[in-house]
Structures are given as structure tokens and as C-alpha cells.
Structure 1
Amino acid sequence: MDRKAFASATGVSRETLDAYQLWQDTLVRWSEHTNLVSRHTLDQFWERHAYDSWRLAELIPHDRHRMVDLGSGAGFPAIALALAFRDRGQDCPITMVDSVGKKVTFLREVIRALDLQADARSVRVETLDPAEGYDLVTARAFAPLNKLLGFAAPLLKNGAIGVFPKGRMYEDELTEARKNWTFDVEVIPSQTGDGVVLKLAQVRRCSSKGTNR
């Protein structure tokens, strides 16, 4: 997939397409001195990174008003979603979190250059305050689901949902997570690979051993 194919597949505006292009150009420039993504995936930006992340927007209700992305790295999916939300007129500020300072510096440069409704924080995810009222939590390649929920569960309350892309071993991750957590889950096949997207709600730590609903 290239820029033209991405535009055809998503139907985004020319302004949004140019913003994705600027993001890619910045990523390539930074990757000359900073390890943000695997170098062999840079040539797959439009499909593996931009489109794969953009597709998540179709799974997110329009009534989400504040999002946090855990382990944001180079901005997948957070920057892609910020652009998708703006393109469809959705007001949903995004907080991007990463403990690696250089990655946060990169994110801040892109946020500023693209004038996104977002901020980037160099903090550990466990320090996030649930009182900030996030109603959407995302994470891509951050941690196995069982561990991820340990970080995300305090944020997944009061109607909040989690949207987590996962690879082909997602069933093993679900099995392991169900030993410690109960949750409602929708498993959505990925249209860009052999993985899935897990859409979670009603996440609670198990009070005793049992099975998930």
C-alpha cells in the first residue's frame, strides 16, 4: 500500500492525507538516529502502521470524549486516530504515554507540527490518574493482555472501553487473562493481517476463580 492506495481505502481529505505524509516524513528523518520502529517496517508505513491504526477508528463509537494510549512509541495508533477523529469531526483529545523520553519528544514534535488535539507524557502508565476521566483506552504491542489489563483496569471504568490490536496468539492471551480478570470482549478480525482487535468493556479483577462472561 502506498499513499494513493491509502487515500482510496480511507477516503480521507487531502489535508488529512498530507498530515499522514508529514508524520511519515518525520518518522523517516528521526529513524536515522533514533529507534522508533523496526527499520524494515518503515517501507510499510502506509499499510502496517497508518492504515492498520486508522482502521481502529471504525470500531470506536462517536461518543468517546477522552482517550489515552499506553506505550505510544512512534504514535501507533494514537496519531493515526487523532487524524481520523479530526477528519470525521469527532472531539476526542488524546493523551499519549511512553516512559522513553526520546519517543515522547518525537510525539510532541508531530503533535505540534500537525496541530493535533493531543498531548504526550513521559511517565509510567501506572501513574495515570483515573480521575482524568478517560473513556477510551488503546495500546498496540505494549504488553500481553493479562499484564496490559493490570495497567488499564483502573482506567476502564464508568463505561470506558479498551481497543487493543493483538496478533495471532490472541486466544492464548485471552485464556491467560481470564484467570485473573472478567470482561466483556468482542473479537474483531483484522483486515490488514492475521491478527485481531479486542474490544473490551466491564473489566474487573476476579474476586474468585471463575469464567469470563
Structure 2
Amino acid sequence: MSDGFDAAAFQTETGVSRETLARFERWRDMLEETNAHTNLVGRSTLEDFWFRHALDSWQIHALAPRAARWADLGAGAGFPGLAIAYALMQSGLPGAHVWLVESIQKKAQFLKAVAAATGAPVTVLAQRVETLHPVPEVDIVTARAMAPLEVLLGYVHPFVEKGARALLPKGARYREELTRARKSWTFEAEVIPSRTSPEAAILSITELVPCQMTAPRRRKS
């Protein structure tokens, strides 16, 4: 349950510094202000920002704390990419950077504004994932609520080909998505329980190869 899970609870759960917490709070304030006139996230979810968005995003970084280079595809309002950027700032890893890929211009502009306000080490790429050239070389590629797994694997494949590991948060139907995806892809998958939902999981994907080139075509983002 997330009832009563506020900024203080988030800090206790994650151990973030005061400076990092202040960045999250600035991000939340800007999101609330912008979302009042521009739909970035479901308005009802803002009341549960610290658990549903902040902690849910932070847990992904916790799975690869030594990874310095990340890509967040379909970054939206910054979940999980901005949270990962703040975690990297706190860790002080050399060369830490996050590429936020978001084709919807209003969302890309919001990401740029938050990054400027908080000093996040990010580059916002305001274009479709499938048009990226060259594809950034990263340690981890992630995407939250972007597409069904069989389609999402098409988006992350170019990154995995360059050596990245994919960390993909999925909801209660992740087993069904895995079954469907294996009809078009071969891959190694580790299922990691989510800290924010007993029914959800984060899929760690490596060794990703299309099955006889029959993988579904990536949909436009």
C-alpha cells in the first residue's frame, strides 16, 4: 500500500541525500504545474508521486548501480529517466549520463525544462526511437509503459546489439508478454520482483536476437 508514502518515506526507503530529494521535489512541483494545462501523466497519479512514480523509477537504478550510461525510451514525463539521472548525480560515477528519447514535443520540452532546473546529466532526443542514428552506446536501456514486450524488444534491440542490458518494468501480465515475445525473439530473461507491486516485475533482458527475422515491426513512438 502507498497510503502515506510521502517525501520523507521515499528518503527513508532509498537513502537519498537532501540534495537529491530537493531535485525530486522540484521535479514534482514542475510536473504538477505543467500537468494542470498539459497532460503529461494521469492527474490522479500525481497524488501518489512518491510511491508510484519516484520509488518505482528509483528501483530500476538500484538494479545496476555501477552503470553510468543509460537510455530511457519513450521518456514521457521522466519516469524512470530523470530519477536515474538524480541517482547518478548522487553516486558521482564518472561519465554518468542519461539519454531521454521522447518524440512528443511537449513532453520533450518539459524534460528539458526539468533538466535545466535540476542540473540533471541528460540529453533529450526529441525524435522517434526508430530514427535514432547513431544509437547511443549505453550500459542500460529502459522503457516504462511504452509498448507490449514483443514490440518493445524491437526498440531496445539496437541498444542491446551494442552491448546494453535492457531493464524493462512490466505489470501484472508480464508472463503473458514474455510468452508472446518468445514467438518472435530469443533472449535471456531474469524476472526481478517489483518493490512497488507484488504483481509486477522488472525484466532483465540480454542476448536478444530476432527469430529468423520475423520479429514484429516496431510501431511508431
- Residue among 22, 25, 35 paired with 1:21: 25
- Residue among 207, 212, 217 paired with 1:207: 212
Cα distance, 1:208 vs structure 2: 8.0
Residues 148-173 of structure 1: per-residue CA shift (max 9 Å, x gap): 01111111124310011000000110
Aligned to 1:167: 171
CA contact (8 A) 2:168 2:202 kept: yes
Distance in 1 separating the partners of 2:133 and 2:182: 25
Distance in 1 separating the partners of 2:119 and 2:40: 21
Aligned to 2:68: 65
User: What SS class does the counterpart of residue 103 from structure 1 fall into?
Assistant: helix
Aligned to 1:146: 150
> Which amino acid counterpart does residue 79 of structure 1 have in structure 2?
L
Give the number of equivalent residue pairs. 208
- Residue among 95, 118, 125 paired with 2:122: 118
1:108 maps onto 2:144 in alignment: no
Aligned to 2:45: 41
> Which amino acid counterpart does residue 102 of structure 1 have in structure 2?
K
> Which amino acid counterpart does residue 47 of structure 2 have in structure 1?
D
Q: 1:170 to 1:130 in 2, by over 3 A?
A: farther
Distance in 1 separating the partners of 2:115 and 2:175: 35
- Residue among 187, 192, 196 paired with 2:191: 187
Distance in 2 separating the partners of 1:135 and 1:3: 29
Distance in 2 separating the partners of 1:65 and 1:150: 23
User: What SS class does the counterpart of residue 159 from structure 1 fall into?
Assistant: coil
Unaligned runs of 5+ in 1: none
Using the size of structure 1 for normalisation, the TM-score is 0.94
Percent of aligned pairs with the same residue? Answer: 46
Using the size of structure 2 for normalisation, the TM-score is 0.90
Q: 1:24 to 1:140 in 2, by over 3 A?
A: same
Cα distance, 1:61 vs structure 2: 4.7
Aligned to 1:81: 84
User: What SS class does the counterpart of residue 55 from structure 1 fall into?
Assistant: helix
User: What SS class does the counterpart of residue 26 from structure 2 fall into?
Assistant: helix
CA contact (8 A) 2:144 2:169 kept: yes
Unaligned runs of 5+ in 2: 215-221
Cα distance, 1:145 vs structure 2: 0.5
Distance in 1 separating the partners of 2:33 and 2:149: 32
Aligned to 2:35: 31
CA contact (8 A) 2:139 2:165 kept: yes
